[in-house]
């Protein structure tokens, strides 16, 4: 009885602690963020000690200025020098995250975390991304040598930091998993891209969706799941502003709500949870802002992770001046702005997978059926 009571008390304490460190109090950061060893209070002392860093990169000198929010601002004499410094910072702050993502995409996660990674490896290994990344890299060296050199400089910055980092400065997760960092390869940036593409687009819900489409009446299905959304409202009209002649307006009758009655019961069972990710963006025209400036608003819906998937920074060279968010492993500003334009990314939910009902003959395992014909 005492043992059960002790376990119960420890369980309650653990749950209370998890709730306390993850909750936000009156708009303040969670305790988990405040106590983060890199970006929280424990990192403040080391932050002031390395506010400015000068790096003698192979491409030329570069400088890293870290502001009071811990955001790096990278300056270099050329683009490759900037890439080197970005690699240095990504490795310093997020290298375990970078290795975790690339090892997952290659189907080698078990090398880092042991048997717990085998289910993931069995799923990812079938894509053969490690070999394909090498093929893309060989092609890139021929068709885009400048980008190839940029990725090489980024890789050099990563590996130079890894080589000089003391074990006690490493991400504590390396110690937790008894794993040491390996060198980065330029082609690994493609793995990050493909990993993100998988997370955003590879959904296995087509069967459920097709069942829903089959049950909907045609007049409702054509509104909710139209093949070509020619009547989709593109610009929100304002009563005080004259509509532009090219503004696409949705007919009043083309509303899904008009086909449902108030209090009507929904006969479709809801799914247990929603695994899909999405995003949205919109633009505020210059005529609608007090400053006369145009605003791009970009809301990227991604899973909540610690650390966050994005990495904020500024890149500055004679040919480049950008500010925004990168993804560790990719030396580019994915969403941000320069002095002329702003850009964002939106997940379109494209149909990138196909599913088939496979009919086989147990007596002839090397054959399958296609259009009522047995084929090899």
Return averaged pLDDT per consecutive 10 residues of the chain, 376 residues in all: 77 76 54 59 53 86 90 95 96 95 96 94 94 95 94 97 90 89 96 88 72 83 70 56 46 50 56 60 86 86 81 95 96 92 80 72 80 71
Alpha helices in the chain, H assignment, sequence order: 2-22, 31-34, 44-49, 79-106, 110-113, 118-124, 129-143, 145-164, 172-176, 188-201, 206-215, 218-224
Angle at which helices 129-143 and 79-106 cross, to 10°: 160
Confidence at residue 285, expressed as pLDDT on a 0 to 100 scale = 84
Task: Report whether 51 contacts 71 (CB < 8 A).
Answer: no
Task: Report whether 312 contacts 334 (CB < 8 A).
Answer: no
Confidence at residue 371, expressed as pLDDT on a 0 to 100 scale = 77
Confidence at residue 212, expressed as pLDDT on a 0 to 100 scale = 81
Q: Where are the beta strands (DSSP E) in 34-160?
A: 52-57, 60-66, 72-76
pTM of the predicted protein model: 0.71
For residues 114 and 110, give the distance between their C-alpha atoms in angstroms, rounded to a whole number.
Answer: 4
Angle at which helices 145-164 and 79-106 cross, to 10°: 80
Which residues face 282 on adjacent strands?
297
Tokens of 112: 């880092």
Measured CA to CA in angstroms, residue 148 lies from 3, 83, 185 at distances of 61, 11, 12
Tokens of 113: 């975390």
Confidence at residue 26, expressed as pLDDT on a 0 to 100 scale = 45
Measured CA to CA in angstroms, residue 259 lies from 29, 89, 222 at distances of 44, 55, 12
Confidence at residue 279, expressed as pLDDT on a 0 to 100 scale = 77
């Amino acid at each position: 009885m005492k043992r059960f009571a002790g376990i119960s008390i420890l369980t309650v304490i653990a749950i209370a602690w998890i709730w306390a460190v993850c909750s936000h109090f009156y708009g303040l950061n969670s305790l988990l963020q405040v106590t983060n060893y890199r970006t929280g209070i424990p990192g403040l002392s080391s932050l002031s000690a390395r506010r400015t860093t000068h790096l003698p990169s192979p491409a030329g000198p570069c400088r890293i200025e870290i502001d009071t929010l811990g955001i790096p601002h990278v300056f270099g004499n050329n683009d490759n020098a900037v890439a080197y410094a970005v690699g240095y910072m990504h490795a310093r702050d997020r290298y375990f995250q970078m290795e975790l993502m690339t090892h997952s995409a290659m189907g080698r996660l078990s090398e880092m975390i042991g048997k717990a990674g085998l289910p993931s490896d069995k799923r990812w290994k079938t894509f053969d991304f490690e070999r394909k990344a090498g093929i893309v890299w060989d092609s890139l060296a021929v068709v885009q040598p400048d980008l190839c050199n940029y990725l090489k400089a980024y890789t050099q910055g990563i590996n130079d930091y890894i080589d000089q980092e003391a074990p006690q400065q490493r991400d504590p997760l390396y110690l937790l998993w008894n794993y040491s960092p390996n060198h980065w390869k330029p082609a690994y940036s493609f793995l990050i891209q493909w990993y993100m593409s998988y997370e955003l687009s590879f959904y296995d819900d087509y069967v459920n969706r097709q069942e829903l489409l089959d049950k909907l009446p045609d007049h409702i299905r054509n509104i909710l799941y139209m093949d070509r959304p020619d009547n989709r409202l593109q610009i929100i009209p304002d009563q005080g502003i004259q509509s532009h002649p090219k503004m696409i307006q949705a007919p009043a009758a083309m509303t899904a709500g008009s086909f449902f009655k108030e209090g009507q019961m929904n006969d479709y069972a809801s799914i247990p949870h929603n695994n899909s990710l999405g995003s949205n963006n919109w633009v505020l025209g210059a005529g609608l802002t007090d400053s006369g400036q145009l605003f791009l608003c970009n809301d990227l819906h991604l899973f909540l992770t610690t650390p966050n998937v994005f990495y904020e920074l500024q890149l500055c060279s004679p040919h480049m001046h950008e500010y925004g968010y990168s993804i560790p492993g990719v030396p580019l500003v994915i969403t941000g702005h320069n002095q002329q334009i702003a850009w964002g990314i939106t997940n379109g939910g494209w149909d990138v997978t196909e599913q088939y009902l496979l009919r086989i003959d147990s007596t002839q395992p090397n054959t399958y059926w296609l259009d009522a014909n047995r084929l090899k």
